[in-house]
Amino acid sequence: MMPVLAYGSRGIYVELLQSTLKKIGFYYGKVDGIFGKQTLDSVYYFQSQFGITVDGVVGRATWRKLEPYINGRVGRIVPTDMSYPYEIMMMNLDALRVKYPIIKVGYYAESVMGKKIPYVKIGEGEQEISYSASMHANEWINSVVLMKFIEDFGDAYENNSELFGYNVREIFESRTLYIIPMVNPDGVDLVLNNISHTSKYFRNAIEISDDYPNIPFPKGWKANINGVDLNQQFPADWEKAREVKFAQGYVSPAPRDFVGFGPLTEPESLGLYNFTLEHNFKIILAYHTQGEIIFWRYLNYNPEGSEDVAKEFARVSGYTLINEVKTNSYAGYRDWFISYFNRPGYTVETGIGNNPLPISQFEKIYNDNIGILITAGII
Ligand SMILES: [Zn+2]
């Protein structure tokens, strides 16, 4: 159910309203989630053009007229100019599934707060590839990247057209892509202020944050809602990760860098671990922000072909390859994948600046990364 919005309303649905009105040429202001004068004028204009009572209130009738544009029956689905919490992603996934039957949606885990964590399956080929994003809460912009990729793939398949110069139908037949757009939905919702302030999870997060006053709240939050850094949870030298992070002062649940009370204690990390074991991924791409760099090494492991693919990713993106072995970094999802399977895994750090990166960087990030996303599907 869409909420009723009016002058003075704020939040994600105001952003959705503004983004949608903008998409269809009724709004030229900022997508800022604040229903002010300019938004009101746009709503008046939209209502007058669509034969709805011109009252400036966005209720059932107005949402119904906006719905074809939100769900892509007219135009595109994934908004790339607004905040992207879990519920907007889920709305988009439903719409994508309906519009493009090749897009299959499944769930591999439930978050701490009980959100079903989706994956998207595209393709019928034997070779499996995994993409994941937003394991770190304040890196949510990459969820939009993967969702847009899903939409572009569906669209190119439908039209039998190319994406980054490749025929996606060939990829579809020879590969199966598993795309996990939001590993850490509770964390993303926390960062985007989309968790009720009266919920026990929010209050607990505030308490955790109080122990780490130097980390801005909620923008500095990377962990899951329990204050565990999901990318420090995997059984790849987890004890060493604990040593390193404890020495840095992360000794209890924290907005970032707390390794947990053991490996895989969190449903989000355990779910991803099991999902990965149940598949046969040839390579994985773990999307993070920021720095425009690509990590491909873990300790002295050197899976066959790993370096060549890394070079190709760097070439098509313009990102910098990090060839040095990080000496104090362990227990990440990719670290575990490389060391357990001895297959290539990559961390792609998109964008530049401070997390969370502003959505205004989306276009550059997407254009830089579409080559990597496609290349991973053809190697
Ligand atoms: Zn990260």
Q: How far is the CA of 187 from the centre of ligand 1 (A)?
A: 12
Residue with token string 């599934």: 97
In this structure, what token pair is assigned to residue 80?
């790339």
Please say whether the beta carbons of 188 and 356 come within 8 A.
no
Q: Which CATH architecture has domain 12-70?
A: Orthogonal Bundle (1.10)
Say whether pTM exceeds 0.85. yes
Report how far residue 109's alpha carbon sits from residue 112's, in angstroms, rounded to the nearest whole number.
Answer: 10
DSSP 293: E
In sequence order, the β-bridge partners of residue 177 are 122, 129
SS3 call for 312: helix
Please say whether the beta carbons of 309 and 321 come within 8 A.
no
Q: How far is the CA of 65 from the centre of ligand 1 (A)?
A: 38
* Residue 127: Cβ within 10 Å count: 17
CA-closest candidate to residue 338, choices 321, 326, 320: 326
- Catalytic pick from 212, 301, 349, 366? 349
Domain spanning 76-379: CATH superfamily: Zn peptidases (3.40.630.10)
Q: How far is the CA of 125 from the centre of ligand 1 (A)?
A: 30
CA-closest candidate to residue 233, choices 207, 270, 180: 270
- Catalytic pick from 212, 330, 333, 346? 330
Q: How is the chain split into domains, by residue range? A: 12-70, 76-379
Q: How far is the CA of 334 from the centre of ligand 1 (A)?
A: 11
| Tens digits of pLDDT across the chain (379 residues) | 899 999 999 999 999 999 999 999 999 999 999 999 999 999 999 999 999 999 999 999 999 999 999 999 999 999 999 999 999 999 999 999 999 999 999 999 999 999 999 999 999 999 999 999 999 999 999 999 999 999 999 999 999 999 999 999 999 999 999 999 999 999 999 999 999 999 999 999 999 999 999 999 999 999 999 999 999 999 999 999 999 999 999 999 999 999 999 999 999 999 999 999 999 999 999 999 999 999 999 999 999 999 999 999 999 999 999 999 887 899 999 999 999 999 999 999 999 999 999 999 999 999 999 999 999 999 8
Please say whether the beta carbons of 368 and 348 come within 8 A.
no
Q: How far is the CA of 347 from the centre of ligand 1 (A)?
A: 9
Distance in angstroms between the alpha carbons of the first and the last residue of the chain: 43
CA-closest candidate to residue 287, choices 200, 188, 155: 188
Report how far residue 146's alpha carbon sits from residue 352's, in angstroms, rounded to the nearest whole number.
Answer: 18
Q: How far is the CA of 50 from the centre of ligand 1 (A)?
A: 44
Please say whether the beta carbons of 190 and 222 come within 8 A.
no
Note if 349 is an active site residue.
Answer: yes
Report how far residue 227's alpha carbon sits from residue 221's, in angstroms, rounded to the nearest whole number.
Answer: 8
DSSP 193: T
Q: How far is the CA of 128 from the centre of ligand 1 (A)?
A: 23
Q: How far is the CA of 288 from the centre of ligand 1 (A)?
A: 4
Report how far residue 253's alpha carbon sits from residue 146's, in angstroms, rounded to the nearest whole number.
Answer: 29
Report how far residue 267's alpha carbon sits from residue 230's, in angstroms, rounded to the nearest whole number.
Answer: 10
Q: How far is the CA of 2 from the centre of ligand 1 (A)?
A: 32
Q: Give the gyration radius of the chain's Cα atoms.
A: 21
Q: What is the DSSP string of 79-109?
A: -SSS---HHHHHHHHHHHHHH-TT-EEEEEE
